[in-house]
Every structure is written in structure tokens, then in C-alpha cells.
Structure 1
Amino acid sequence: MTIRSQEDIVTRVWALRANRWDIFGFREEVLVEALDLDHARQVLTPRHPGEWTQRVDHESYARNYLRFAIGKIIDHRGNSASRSVDKLGELAWLLVRDDIVAAMDHARYPMYGAPKVKAFADRFDWPFLDGLDSDDERALARMADGQQCDPQGCERGCAD
């Protein structure tokens, strides 16, 4: 799968920083791991010298991270789910899938970002509900539709 050029990635890192679109650095983390050492040096700060490692297989990472994100949604993990949505959006951008970025931007966020994560999975034509037990599958399908996980009411925190 194709990814953005090294120069495009460096430019995006600087834009994220300049516009404060990535306060916690979750998106930047995805991007920096796509850089070779020469380009990574352009954006790494001296206080983080040994933290860079280059990721090579971004598609596999995106597939695995999708599973992780789904787990955070099912577990009603607000901050972790939000981070997952940010990272999946950045992975879509990195993999030159502007259609997915647009679909995620267009989807609503309720229910821990489930509609956005479903848009990511659907556009890549990757499974969204596979591998879950039937209760989690039903809950996730409802959440992706913007509804509470349980039609009788949620005790864990999701709300319309």
C-alpha cells in the first residue's frame, strides 16, 4: 500500500504543531513512525532522542489498531476511544486515503467515535463486527448507528 512522501509527512507534522490540532501528540506519533531517520530528525526534539522507531507496514498497523479501537469503544473508554479515532484518521491520511479521511470527518462522534471508526473500516473494506461475541457485536452495531449500546439503557456511560 502506498503512503505519503516523506516531505508531505514532515509538512503535516509541522502543521499539526502550528495549528494545535494534536495537543496530546497522538496523530504525530503515527506520522513520525512513518519517517526515515533523516526526515525524523527534522521533527524530533532533542528532549526525545531515543524514542523514534520507523514503522514499515502501515497497513498491518492500521488493521491491528482498528481492532484495538473497537475494543476501546466496546469498553466505553472515552479518552482512549478518542485517541483511537485520531490515530485511525491519521493512518487513513498517511495511506493516501483521503476518501476515508473525509468519511470519518463527515461521521458523527457519539458513542465513543463508533460511527467514525465504522466509516474507517467500511471504506477500507475491513471487518468491523467480526470476531466479537454476539452481545458485543450487537452493542457495537448500535453504537456505530449512534445509539446506546443497550436498548434498555446503558449502565457504563453511553448516552444519546
Structure 2
Amino acid sequence: MTTRTQEEIITRVWALRANRGDIFGFREEVLVEALDLGHVRQVIAPRHPGEWTQRVDHETYARDYLDFAVGKILDHRGNSASRTVDKLGELAWLLGRDDIVAGMDHAGYPMYGAPKVRAFADGFGWPFLDDLDSNTRRALARMADGQQCDPRGCERGCAD
């Protein structure tokens, strides 16, 4: 899979900082982990090198993180779900999949970002509803369509 160059990643980090497009730093976290030691020093202050670990296999990380994101959606975890959407978007970008980033940007954010996470999974051709029992699969499919998880009502926070 095509990945971004170190220079492209650094440029994106600085753009996020300049535009304040990543207030909590979730997107930057993904990007910085993609940098090698020589490049990470351009974006992390020298007094903090111990806070950095390079990640090399972004595809495996993205697959694992997709499962984590689905869990946050199903658990109705608003802030955590938002973080997963940001991180999945940056992983798609790192893997050179601007089409998936655009699909995620186009998808709405109702129901804890489920439509955006589905766009991510579908874009890569990865499972979104697999490995779930039938009730959970139905709930996630409804959420990805922008509906509350249970048509009879949700006690956990979903709303139409």
C-alpha cells in the first residue's frame, strides 16, 4: 500500500498546528508515529524524545483500530468515538487513500461517527459488521445509517 513521505507527514503536522485543526492532538499522534527519528525531531521538542515511538505497519494498526472504533460506537462513547474517527482519517491519509478521506469527510457524523467509520471500512474493503452477533450487527448497521441503535428507543444516548 502506498504511504506518505516523511516530508509530506511533517507538512501535514505543521498544517494541522497552523489551522488548529486538531485541538486535542489525536490526528497529530497518528502522524508523528509515522515519522522516523531523524524527522520526528522536526516536530517534537528535543526535551520530549522519550514520548515518541515509531509505528511502521500502519495497515495493521488501521485494521486493529477499526475494531476499536466500532467498539466505541457500540458503547456510545462520544469523545472516544470522535477520537477514533480523527485517527482513522489520518491513517487513511498516511496509507495514501485520499478517496477514503474524502468519503469520510462526506459522510455525516451522527451516531458516534458510525457513517464515517463505515466509509473507512468500506473504502478499504475491510469488514465493518463481521464478527458481531446479529443484534449487534443490526444496531451498528442502523447507527451507520444515522439512526438510533434500537428502533424502539435507546437508553444509552442515541437520538434521531
**TM-score interval, smaller chain:** over 0.9
Q: Deviations over 1:56-90 (max 9, x none)?
A: 10000000000000000000000000000000000
Q: Deviations over 1:66-119 (max 9, x none)?
A: 000000000000000000000000001111100000000000000000000000
**Which structure 1 segments of 5+ residues have no match?**
none
Q: Deviations over 1:37-63 (max 9, x none)?
A: 010000002453301111110000000
Q: Which residue of 1 aligns with 2:21?
A: 21
Q: Which residue of 2 aligns with 1:133?
A: 133
TM-score by length of 2: 0.98
Q: Which residue of 1 aligns with 2:39?
A: 39
Q: How does 1:1-160 map to 2 (within 5 A)?
A: 1-160=1-160
| Count of residue pairs brought into register by the alignment | 160
Secondary structure, counterpart of 1:113 in structure 2: helix
Q: Deviations over 1:3-32 (max 9, x none)?
A: 100000000000001100001100000000
RMSD: 0.8
Q: Distance in 1 between matches of 2:2 and 2:34?
A: 12
One-letter amino acid of the counterpart of residue 35, structure 1: L
One-letter amino acid of the counterpart of residue 2, structure 2: T
**Which structure 2 segments of 5+ residues have no match?**
none
One-letter amino acid of the counterpart of residue 101, structure 2: V
Percentage of pairs with the same residue: 84
Instruction: Give the C-alpha shift of residue 135 in structure 1.
Output: 1.5
